[in-house]
């Protein structure tokens, strides 16, 4: 039986998550080749290329996008560059996988979507939670009508502590743009055919209160009302001392589903100190299957032209909720999505 030629993929951005995506393509996907890595830091690009046996490392994104052998790109640069790089890649005729957030304004998001549409290239966004087994099975149960009509929906993200980041180096509103953006996409995805209509958000600096007067936020709670009457809550905190905690819940007219577990496995230790379980400490460990599955789906979309994962429009919807949250915090009121 003949086999298909692997898809040639380039990585843009050799930071933490970019390096993990590069490893996934190079070592975990059988139908893709990682052929180039681009990063402004020549040393980072070359070191990653050497580690993974990638033939090309460059600082010039344009040179990589101009290479005819490159069929698709993975964009894992800092968020402020996502939109411009996605437009540039689409205009070069490359399939685009873009880490979240796809853009920081709706105007930027619309430009990315339009560029991909004009070039007729696939555009997929990195909302990896959809590919986690528990969340995927939860959505399947909803589609099968097992919980009835969703009424109360919950999604949370608690990063592992202790918090070691720098508030001074963290872009303002990161908690909405880059952390809770996952939860916003998850809540919309778990409420099929419903549309968010209003948002109320509260944010504070509870982990680093000393940075509050500089506009830093490390804790937030968001309430979203949908047009089908359901109410959703998202929450985030940058320092869960017990581990990396990602969970979801949908309560409906016919039942309830829960998704996610901070425990690494069902193994529980019983000893003289009591009862304990190991917990997840990194997103790349917790969601290794989800991260890999989303890239496998993207590679399939490059071949077929059909995106089966989160689309540019999905990313735009999550971004609109994030923007409503920012407005809600700044103005201390509930914000209608019609205002965004």
3-state secondary structure the chain: CCCCCCEEEEEECCCHHHHHHHHHHHHHCCCEEEEEEECCCHHHHHHHHHHHCCCCEECCHHHHHCCCCCCEEEECCCHHHHHHHHHHHHHCCCEEEECCCCCCCHHHHHHHHHHHHHHCCCEEECCHHHHCHHHHHHHHHHHCCCCCCEEEEEEEEEEECCCCCCHHHCCCCHHHHHHHHHHHHHHHHCCCCCCEEEEEEEEECCCCHHHHHHCCCCEEEEEEEECCCCEEEEEEEEEECCCCEEEEEEEECCEEEEECCCECCCCCEEECCEEECCECCCHHHHCHHHHHHHHHHHHHHHHHCCCCCCCHHHHHHHHHHHHHHHHHHHHCCCEEHHHC
Best-predicted range by mean pLDDT (3-7, 252-256, 259-263): 252-256
pLDDT digits (tens, 9 = 90+) for 164-183: 999 999 999 999 999 999 99
pLDDT digits (tens, 9 = 90+) for 126-168: 999 999 999 999 999 999 999 999 999 999 999 999 999 999 9
| Total-model pTM | 0.93
């Amino acid at each position: 039986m003949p086999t298909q030629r692997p898809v040639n993929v380039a990585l843009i951005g050799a930071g933490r998550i970019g390096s993990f995506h590069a490893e996934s393509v190079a070592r975990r996907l059988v139908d893709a080749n990682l052929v180039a890595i681009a990063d402004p830091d020549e040393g980072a690009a070359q070191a990653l290329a050497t580690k993974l046996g990638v033939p090309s490392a460059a600082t010039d994104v344009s040179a990589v996008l101009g290479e005819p052998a490159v069929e698709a790109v993975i964009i894992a640069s800092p968020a402020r560059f996502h939109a411009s790089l996605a437009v540039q890649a689409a205009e070069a005729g490359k399939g685009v996988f873009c880490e979240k957030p796809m853009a920081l304004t709706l105007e930027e998001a619309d430009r990315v979507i339009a560029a991909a549409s004009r070039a007729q290239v696939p555009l997929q966004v990195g909302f990896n939670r959809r590919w986690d087994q528990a969340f995927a099975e939860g959505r399947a149960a909803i589609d099968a009508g097992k919980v009835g009509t969703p009424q109360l929906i919950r999604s949370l993200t608690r990063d592992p502590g202790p918090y070691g980041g720098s508030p001074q180096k963290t872009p303002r509103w990161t908690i909405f743009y880059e952390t809770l953006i996952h939860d916003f996409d998850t809540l919309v995805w778990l409420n099929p055919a419903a549309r968010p209509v209003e948002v109320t958000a509260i944010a504070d600096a509870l982990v680093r209160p000393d940075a509050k007067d500089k506009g830093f936020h490390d804790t937030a709670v968001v309430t979203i009302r949908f047009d089908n009457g359901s109410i959703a809550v998202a929450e985030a905190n940058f320092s869960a001392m017990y581990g990396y905690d990602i969970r979801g819940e949908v309560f409906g007219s016919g039942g309830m589903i829960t998704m996610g577990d901070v425990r690494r496995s069902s193994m529980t230790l019983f000893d003289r100190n009591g009862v304990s379980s190991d917990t997840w400490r990194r997103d790349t460990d917790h969601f290794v299957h989800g991260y890999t599955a989303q890239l496998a789906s993207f590679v399939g979309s490059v071949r077929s032209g059909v995106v089966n994962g989160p689309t540019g429009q999905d990313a735009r919807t999550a971004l609109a909720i994030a923007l409503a949250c920012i407005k809600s915090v700044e103005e201390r009121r509930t914000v209608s999505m019609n205002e965004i």
